[in-house]
Amino acid sequence: MLEIQRRQLLVDGEPRLLVGGEVHYFRVPRDEWPDRVRSLKAAGCNLLASYIPWLLHELPDGSFDVTGRTRPERDVAAFIDLCRDEGLYFLARPGPFVMAELKNEGLPYSVYRDHPEIVPSGWDDVPAPTRTVDYLAPSFLAANRRWYEAIMPILAPRLQPNGGNVIGVQLDNEVGMLAWVTNSPDLTDHLLSDLRDWVRTTHGDETARRYPFDLADDATWARAVRSPDEQWAAALRVDLGRFMRTRFAHYVQALRADAEELGIRDVPFVVNIHGTEGGSGAPFPIGISQLVETYAGVPGMLSGSDHYMGDMTLGTTTDLHMINAFMAAVHDADQPITSVEFEAGSGDYGGGLDMQYDPSTVELKTRLCLAQGNRLINYYLFAGGINPPLDEPVGDGNDRISFTGERHGTAAPVGPEGQHGLTYAPTARVTQAAMIHERWLASTDEEHDDLALGFVLDHYLTEYHHPGSPLMTEIVEHLQAHRGAGARRALWRSLLLAGYRFGAVDLQSADVELPHVVALATTRYLDADVQQRLVDHASAGGSLLLLGPVPELDLEGRPCSLLADALGVKPGELVHGERDYWPTLVAHGWAAPWPQTTAGWLQPLQVTDGDVVLTDAHLDRPCGVDVRIGSGRAIVLAAELPSDPALFATAARELGVTPGVGLTADVPGVVATTSANADGERLLHLLNVSGYPAHVTVSTDPGADVSHELEVPARSGHWLALGLEVGGARLAWADAELTEVGAGRLSLGPGLSTRGDAVRAVLQSDRPVAVEGDSHQISTEGRQVVVTGDDSPLTLTFS
């Protein structure tokens, strides 16, 4: 069986790494199924995932075909069993929504035809521009129950605990995404009634103050929500976002209850989190915010990321690191992070040679995610295919199940006709390397310095704002500009490239222990409970590294200056750069020397007591200060700074935290972190996302004063041993990645050391060690074995 424990996935009690790809059986002719499955297996994968579209399996007469009686490709069981016969686990994704470029996002036309009441309208009663529905509408749940009654009996006997290979089931897909991307909340009469009940229960006697009208009148309440007055617009924005979290949780609970009743038990249920947009991961936490209550801390639930960000660059590296850290921040102590839609294509998704990603992209992204503790990665889309026709033409131009035409997945590692595409080789290369390291990647956790980035879930309640409300719009646009990684991603990227190993901490959870340094991208809007938590942390001896406007309002725009008052700071209005004015910064104290730097904006600060570290060059006004707060300390940088690893590392050191990985590189773009398991085995994860070879000096044990000089090729990633039990020995250090591990034998790839006679490996072994070939030499002292030589591949044997 599959268990979720200690942020690991245990299959029959053993930690496992699941790496697979999405292959849509319904887009591949049945006689070609074995070819696609074997292509995936040959790439090193041990998992295959597929949507199971309701749209495909419900016939025009309302009956279901899941056995292939009307079309051989509809035989779901046969496809799952084929994967089993090839030794692959299967991740089932039966919806009801599946997206996948399908018509109606995978729902049958009959659902909309027979149940028009489920189709929502949004702001000002304007019909939804997408095929979204009111998820909790009774008729929609009843219709989906019929679908589950057809498909779940196929899956239940094939679950892994029942002797099959189905390792997990995803409930729905990208819940809430359609309303977010269109800023069109699902404001059906049914939902508005539930919202009113929630408001009354949540706010009690305060309800009349927040909404000064007769809530009991249905028409009045509907108008007040769909076309809100400015008097309650800010309150409604927050209430609607928080209510929808609860509503989505109730929806997923309803799906789970039906699935369990139909035999789906003892495997995880998966929720897929959306949020990347236009090649950026910055809005991804909107999906976390929307869906947090569906999975976080809920037994038997996993969340999986769904990200499409194109090439691996300095920007997307920061975004991907943030996605993983923020996902983990809201999980409980057992839930690992996973990715159930992990972009593996070449970028030419329209089939017009419009885009082509660097081939290293899939490898670099995979390595970063595994370094941060991902235990399941599903490459999407792994194999393309052919969209079959609809059973009943609808006259929409192509009459196929998808709006993409005949061929689908033209940029996938495996093309529509089964040909290996541009990204097949790099996807296979990193997957095979991951499987060699599975034992450690499945059990090690990233080691963190005593620093974390603060995550404020409610800063991402920005999926809905009435376009005619200036107040809603102002708050949303401000939050979008300053939250998360900080303006220009300066806070996150700088600390990452400075060698800090860190995750994120949920500042709205009172149960989470804070690290010594909490780094936070601040906004004007921060609720009182979070402000007070930061004050309490610093007052008790902790430290704060704050980048952004100083908080002075809560999320509803009401005055709230708890943090500013405790800091002894009074913020002024933001000064933005204009055509003829460029705000410029001058550094002082520990921040100097630092060249004068223009900023997109700065915020003048009046300071009661503390050291000034940044000023406005024009009027010499402080905009960066270092202050004491209780027995702790806070550095406040109220300006749009560029990424500067040296400046932010200096700030973090001033606050008492040095990076556990010593890292210097002669080009920007090198990321290093370490992971360890309960047995003390450790890995160094080293990435160079730049297009230049990097000369790197790295130390992983600062107390021992030992460092390694390495030449890391451009756009490459490496897992280096820091103490692994391999082949009957303990590999304390290696300057190259393992390429083979067997009984009495191990092999390493080309070395990264810069010297021709460098130390290639250091081992402790009770058995004699021999080296194959004459390019390397061995010296032995007691149990310690040191291998030196050139950078050619290395094989050691143990007798």
pLDDT in tens, 392-402: 999 999 999 99
* 383 & 501 share domain: no
* 435 & 455 share domain: no
CA distance 427 to 382: 9
**Percentage of residues in the chain with pLDDT exceeding 70?**
99
User: In terms of residue numbers, what domain contains 745?
Assistant: 677-798
What is the band of 436 on the pLDDT scale with cuts at 50, 70, 90? very high
Number of domains in the chain: 3
Alpha helices in 296-447 (DSSP H): 314-329, 361-371, 424-436, 438-441
143 CA to centre of own chain: 32
- The predicted pLDDT at position 701 comes to 80
515 within domain boundaries = yes
* Mean pLDDT, range 683-694, rounded to an integer: 97
- The predicted pLDDT at position 353 comes to 87
575 within domain boundaries = yes
Amino acid at 670: V
pLDDT at 263 over 70: yes
Among 421, 443, 465, give the residue marking a domain's end: 443
Q: Closest Cα to residue 174, out of 95, 58, 277, 264?
A: 95
**Percentage of residues in the chain with pLDDT exceeding 90?**
93
Domain CATH for 534: 3.40.50.880
632 within domain boundaries = yes
Partnered with residue 740 across adjacent β-strands are 747
What is the band of 72 on the pLDDT scale with cuts at 50, 70, 90? very high
* 363 & 418 share domain: yes
Four-point Cα dihedral 429, 433, 434, 437, nearest 10: 180
Structure pTM?
0.97
pLDDT digits (tens, 9 = 90+) for 215-251: 999 999 999 999 999 999 999 999 999 999 999 999 9
What is the band of 704 on the pLDDT scale with cuts at 50, 70, 90? low
* 349 & 379 share domain: yes
* 536 & 604 share domain: yes
* 506 & 639 share domain: yes
pLDDT digits (tens, 9 = 90+) for 617-644: 988 999 999 999 999 999 999 999 999 9
* 342 & 489 share domain: no
217 within domain boundaries = no
What is the band of 351 on the pLDDT scale with cuts at 50, 70, 90? confident
* 514 & 417 share domain: no
Q: Which residues lie closer than 8 Å to 440 by C-beta, 6 or more apart? A: 675, 677, 681, 683, 719, 724
288 within domain boundaries = yes
Which secondary-structure segment (H or E) carries 613? strand 611-616
What's the chain's average pLDDT?
96
pLDDT digits (tens, 9 = 90+) for 712-763: 999 999 999 999 999 779 999 999 999 999 888 999 999 998 877 789 999 9
Domain CATH for 103: 3.20.20.80
pLDDT at 387 over 70: yes
Amino acid at 527: D
Query: What phi-psi label fits residue 25: left (phi over 0), alpha (psi between -120 and 50 degrees) or beta?
Result: alpha
* 639 & 700 share domain: no
Among 410, 443, 476, give the residue marking a domain's end: 443
* 648 & 718 share domain: no
pLDDT at 33 over 70: yes
pLDDT digits (tens, 9 = 90+) for 85-117: 999 999 999 999 999 999 999 999 999 999 999
* 499 & 589 share domain: yes
pLDDT at 707 over 90: no
pLDDT at 705 over 80: no
- The predicted pLDDT at position 782 comes to 85
Q: Closest Cα to residue 59, out of 73, 70, 72?
A: 70
293 within domain boundaries = yes
192 within domain boundaries = no
Among 443, 478, 496, give the residue marking a domain's end: 443
* 151 & 279 share domain: yes
Residue 321 · residue 372 · CB < 8 Å: yes
Q: Closest Cα to residue 225, out of 201, 261, 271, 190?
A: 190
pLDDT at 156 over 90: yes
pLDDT at 82 over 70: yes
Reduce the DSSP state of residue 638 to 3 states and report it.
coil
pLDDT at 368 over 90: yes
Q: Which residues lie closer than 8 Å to 230 by C-beta, 6 or more apart? A: 469, 470, 471
234 within domain boundaries = no
CA angle 342, 344, 348 (to 5 degrees): 125
